[in-house]
């Protein structure tokens, strides 16, 4: 069956040209609601967007981290329009309250961007059931699915209620003028490399992130009647506390991505209202060169025609290129591991021990 090129039928922009600059100041005066924004790269989003003049409403289950982040960011940036609202994304009414409060706190009474960022990882019970000696199996703990899938569905549903009600906003389009008008209707989904590749020993996480990919692919084909633009970030393992000690052990000797690159990719999406229906993957920062056959190869910085990058277009227009993308990125990651050698492995093991005993950031 021939591939269906959805980009011809919907409002979807061409692949993101990462060489084209954007201005983070384009987020100025936008009201951005972000779930799970109290730590990790969610907190990175908050700091960067607040610095550039956005109003931020953080919804998170951790009151201590959320209030602490708000205090720090207000002090660092002088931006008083940074707010925290307690929210358990697995509870419908909790998210309803978050969105209502975000609209109330918004200087213009609306929400420009919703970032469905909340997510967790951890020990997965699917392959490790408890109570094997019991008369019948106890109910499993599907918290990872509840947060990473059901929570995202709640956030998405509420975004589709509130975004079209953003005062003075106009329908999304590739001909919009970012920076010229701050009113937007944007949903940014947080997927993962686990959205497009297997996640060994984490079936709930892998299933949830595959679900986010499916949600994205469906929404971007049908969101234009509401004038909403939908984009997605797919980070690789990023060096944050969500990466478990077990995962760090398995990854030792390779390389993880950095929060700043996830923030960069997310800011491009939020700031540039001309980008519709695209996905970006974020991994380790590497120096690569593309050969004539399209293969990306890890090379030294001095090689002519090479460039440094941590962000990759995921070819979301029809997904014909997903397998090719995975082949290329795995080749690059294997090259990084070989280049770092035993010293890189030992360094990562020390970090893993530090995170295990609470010394990680």
CATH number of the domain bearing residue 65: 3.40.50.720
Q: What is the mean pLDDT of residues 119-125?
A: 86
Domain assignment present for 15: no
Residue 238 above 50 pLDDT?
yes
Domain assignment present for 344: no
Domain assignment present for 246: no
Write out pLDDT tens, residues 276-309: 999 999 988 888 777 777 677 778 888 888 888 8
Q: What is the mean pLDDT of residues 60-74?
A: 98
**Residue 59 pairs with which residues in a beta bridge?**
35, 85
Closest to 159 measured CA to CA, from 120, 111, 197: 111
Per-chain mean pLDDT for the chain: 85
Contacts of residues 18-23 at CB distance under 8 Å and 24 or more positions apart, as own/partner, are: 18/309, 18/311, 18/313, 22/178, 22/267, 22/268, 22/271, 22/272, 23/178, 23/179, 23/271
Catalytic residue numbers read 205, 209
Write out pLDDT tens, residues 91-113: 999 999 999 999 999 999 999 99
Residue 218 above 50 pLDDT?
yes
Instruction: Let me know: does 239 contact 285? Beta carbons within 8 Å.
Output: no
Instruction: Let me know: does 111 contact 162? Beta carbons within 8 Å.
Output: yes
Which SS3 state, helix, strand or coil, does residue 114 take? strand
Q: Which token pair is 303? A: 């090689």
For the entire predicted model, the pTM comes to: 0.84
Domain assignment present for 267: yes
Name the domain count of the chain. 1
Angle at 146 between CA 141 and CA 147, to 5 degrees: 120
**Residue 281 pairs with which residues in a beta bridge?**
234, 312
Domain assignment present for 162: yes
pLDDT grade, residue 326 (50/70/90)? low
Closest to 32 measured CA to CA, from 277, 272, 270: 270
pLDDT-wise least confident of 168-182, 243-257, 317-331: 317-331
CA atoms within 13 A on the CB side of 81: 22
Helix, strand, coil % over all residues of the chain, rounded to 5: 40, 15, 40
Query: Would you give the DSSP letter of residue 254?
Result: S
Domain assignment present for 273: yes
Domain assignment present for 118: yes
Write out pLDDT tens, residues 239-283: 776 666 766 766 666 778 899 999 999 999 999 999 999 999 998
Q: Widest CA span of the chain, in angstroms?
A: 67
Query: Would you give the DSSP letter of residue 360?
Result: -
Taking the C-alpha atoms of residue 350 and residue 252, their distance in angstroms, rounded to an integer, is: 9
Contacts of residues 67-71 at CB distance under 8 Å and 24 or more positions apart, as own/partner, are: 69/37, 69/38, 69/39, 69/43
The pLDDT, as a whole number, for residue 100 is 98
pLDDT grade, residue 135 (50/70/90)? confident
- Quote the domain boundaries for residue 27: 23-123+140-241+255-281+310-319
Taking the C-alpha atoms of residue 305 and residue 284, their distance in angstroms, rounded to an integer, is: 20
Q: Which residue has the tokens 């109570």?
A: 131
Domain assignment present for 100: yes
């Amino acid at each position: 069956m021939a591939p269906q090129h959805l980009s011809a039928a919907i409002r979807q922009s061409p692949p993101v040209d990462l060489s084209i600059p954007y201005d983070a100041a384009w987020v100025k005066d936008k009201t951005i609601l972000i779930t799970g924004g109290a730590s990790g790269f969610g907190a990175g989003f908050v700091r960067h967007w607040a610095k550039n003049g956005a109003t931020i409403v953080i919804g998170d289950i951790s009151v201590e981290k959320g209030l602490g982040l708000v205090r720090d960011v207000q002090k660092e940036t002088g931006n008083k329009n940074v707010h925290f609202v307690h929210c358990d994304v697995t509870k419908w009414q909790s998210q309803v309250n978050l969105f209502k409060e975000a609209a109330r706190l918004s200087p213009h009474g609306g929400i420009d961007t919703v970032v469905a960022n909340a997510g967790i990882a951890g020990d997965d019970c699917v392959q490790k059931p408890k109570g094997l000696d019991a008369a019948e199996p106890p109910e499993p703990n599907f918290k990872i699915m509840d947060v990473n899938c059901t929570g995202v569905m709640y956030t998405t549903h509420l975004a589709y209620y509130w975004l079209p009600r953003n005062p003075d906003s106009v329908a999304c389009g590739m001909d919009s003028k970012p920076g010229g008008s701050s009113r937007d209707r944007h949903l940014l989904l947080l997927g993962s490399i686990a959205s497009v590749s297997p996640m060994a020993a984490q079936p709930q996480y892998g299933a949830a992130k595959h679900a986010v990919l499916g949600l994205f692919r469906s929404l971007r084909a049908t969101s234009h009647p509401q004038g909403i633009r939908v984009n997605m970030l797919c980070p690789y393992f990023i060096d944050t506390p969500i990466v478990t000690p077990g995962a760090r052990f398995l990854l030792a000797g390779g390389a993880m991505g950095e929060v700043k690159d996830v923030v960069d990719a997310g800011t491009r999406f939020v700031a540039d209202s001309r980008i519709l229906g695209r996905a970006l993957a974020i991994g380790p920062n590497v120096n690569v060169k593309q050969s004539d056959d399209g293969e990306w190869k890890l090379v030294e910085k001095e090689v002519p025609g090479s460039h440094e990058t941590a962000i990759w277009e995921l070819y979301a227009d029809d997904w014909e290129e997903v397998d090719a993308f995975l082949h290329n990125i795995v080749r690059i990651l294997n090259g990084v591991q070989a280049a770092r050698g035993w010293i890189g492995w030992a360094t990562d093991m020390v970090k893993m021990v530090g995170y295990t005993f609470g010394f990680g950031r």
